[in-house]
Amino acid sequence: MEPSGEARPRMLSGVKVLDFTQYLAGPTVTRFMAEMGAEIIKVEQAPMGDPARLLPIVKNGRSAYFVQQNRGKKSLCLDFSKPRSIELLHSLAARADVVVENYGAGVLERKQLDYASLRGINPRIVMASISAFGRTGPLAHKTGYDFIAQAFSGLMHMTGHPDRPPVFVGMGIADQGSGVHAFAAIGYALYHREKTGVGQHIDISMVDALYHMHELNVQSYTMTGGQHVPQRSGSHHTLVCPCGVFKGPQGYIALLVLDRQWPAMAKAMDRADLAADERFATGPKRAENREELIAIIEAWMSSLASDAAVLEVLEEYRIAAAPVLSVADSVTHPYFQARGMIRTVPDPILGELTIPGFPLKFSEFPDLPDIAAPLLGEHGAELLRGHLGLSEEEIGELRASGILFSAEV
């Protein structure tokens, strides 16, 4: 179990966040902020709340997916169709530091919960909006999700084998990548606000978050006048060779050999002759003869007793290499255990749940908070009482009129 309790306020303690997010991209932002001590008011629409509450794996009506993304947040469930709900949210926005949302285009505008409306209430507000194609531009109206962003950004075109269809990356990289971008941008916007007193709107596109990661493809195409058209290259790098995934004695091994390391790689394989072989004398020549080189490397690997033996030899010669781990491999691997990336957390419905750990390691905050995901509407009364000063009678009236909602899951 992780340490419980906090010795002192965390870095974002005192920061109040209105969280109009669902599924993955937006919740990623506020999940990071919750870990760092911010108060996250997760605003959910009655009666179902965040649709992620229904995503698998579900046990006793509780979604492990939802729990992983929403730990440390407080749930306020309101009927957005009722004007009184919007009034309450405006009052909360007047007291908030940050708003995060990832609704479809026009949804918050129709409810007067968009940046223009909230800035009129609170000029210091920092608001981050995440969408597939951004809030401006010719495609701002389009609906999109992680899979769509991967396709439109070119990432999918560059993933997979050249003679096969494009491949979807095996995790929500657009959702979570845009979420981490928004998390960083919010921090700088808050820093700017401390200097100027002025908030601002942050417009994050999932497509943009992926597109800017083309470290080579865009400029290699434009600088050659379109003569070099980047294509997917399967399990091996297009330029660096050898660099890719190789069949080992037991599983698969990824390795990367820099040009200056080629003689060392030849020695590691007990094939010093390869260092003088004209077919492999330079990086471009090795790339031209990649299939022959792959066969040589895999033949050497297969001559050893295990993947561990292969990796031991490569480490001896300082060749960068690693096994291709499955999720099943990772959850028991000493690396992830030692780095705190296998994290067992408590949940009132699921019991103990194993999730990925927090990737940011701060020297002044080595321990992580002991936080849980909320039940639907669990904190509604607490939030309205604590932040807006509503009486028990007023809260009871909100419940009776269907404005304030809560449900056991």
> How many residues would you count in the chain?
409
pTM confidence score: 0.93
Domain boundaries defined on the chain: 16-212+334-405, 243-247+252-323
Q: Which residues contact 347 (CB under 8 A, 6 or more apart)?
A: 62, 67, 353, 372, 373
Q: Which residues contact 329 (CB under 8 A, 6 or more apart)?
A: 323
Residue 98 CA, chain-centre distance (Å), reads 19
Rounded CA gap, 363 and 35, in Å? 15
Bridge partners of 347? 351
The CA-based angle 194-195-198, given to 5 degrees, is: 70
CB-based contact 244:171 (threshold 8 Å): no
Q: What is the pLDDT of residue 368?
A: 87
DSSP-assigned states of every residue in 168-181: --SS-HHHHHHHHH
DSSP-assigned states of every residue in 211-225: HTT-SSHHHHHHHTT
Burial (0-12, 13-18, 19+ Cβ within 10 Å), 10? buried
Nearest to 207 by CA among 153, 159, 140, 129: 153
The CA-based angle 123-128-130, given to 5 degrees, is: 150
- The CATH architecture of the domain made up of 16-212+334-405 is 3-Layer(aba) Sandwich (3.40)
Q: What is the pLDDT of residue 5?
A: 45
Q: What residue spans of 317-391 are helical by DSSP H?
A: 327-330, 334-338, 380-388
Q: What is the pLDDT of residue 316?
A: 98
Q: What is the pLDDT of residue 6?
A: 45
Q: Is 370 left (phi over 0), alpha (psi -120 to 50) or beta?
A: beta
Helix (H) or strand (E) holding 340: none
Bridge partners of 74? 41
Q: What is the pLDDT of residue 7?
A: 57
Q: What is the pLDDT of residue 128?
A: 99
Q: Which residues contact 195 (CB under 8 A, 6 or more apart)?
A: none
Q: What number does CATH give the domain 243-247+252-323?
A: 3.30.1540.10
Q: What is the pLDDT of residue 57?
A: 85
The CA-based angle 305-309-315, given to 5 degrees, is: 160
Q: What is the pLDDT of residue 58?
A: 87
Helix (H) or strand (E) holding 67: helix 64-70
Q: What is the pLDDT of residue 363?
A: 94
Rounded CA gap, 365 and 221, in Å? 44
Phi, psi of 252 (to 5 degrees): -115, 145
Rounded CA gap, 234 and 291, in Å? 13
Q: Which residues contact 348 (CB under 8 A, 6 or more apart)?
A: 372, 375
Rounded CA gap, 201 and 119, in Å? 9
DSSP-assigned states of every residue in 349-361: TTEEEEEE--S--
Rounded CA gap, 242 and 257, in Å? 6
Mean pLDDT in runs of 10 for the chain (409 residues)?
58 98 98 98 97 92 96 98 98 99 96 98 99 98 97 97 96 98 99 98 99 95 93 94 98 98 98 96 96 98 98 98 98 96 93 95 91 96 98 98 84
Burial (0-12, 13-18, 19+ Cβ within 10 Å), 385? middle
CB-based contact 243:256 (threshold 8 Å): yes
CB-based contact 63:53 (threshold 8 Å): yes
List residues with catalytic annotation: 175
Q: What is the pLDDT of residue 1?
A: 36
Rounded CA gap, 174 and 180, in Å? 10
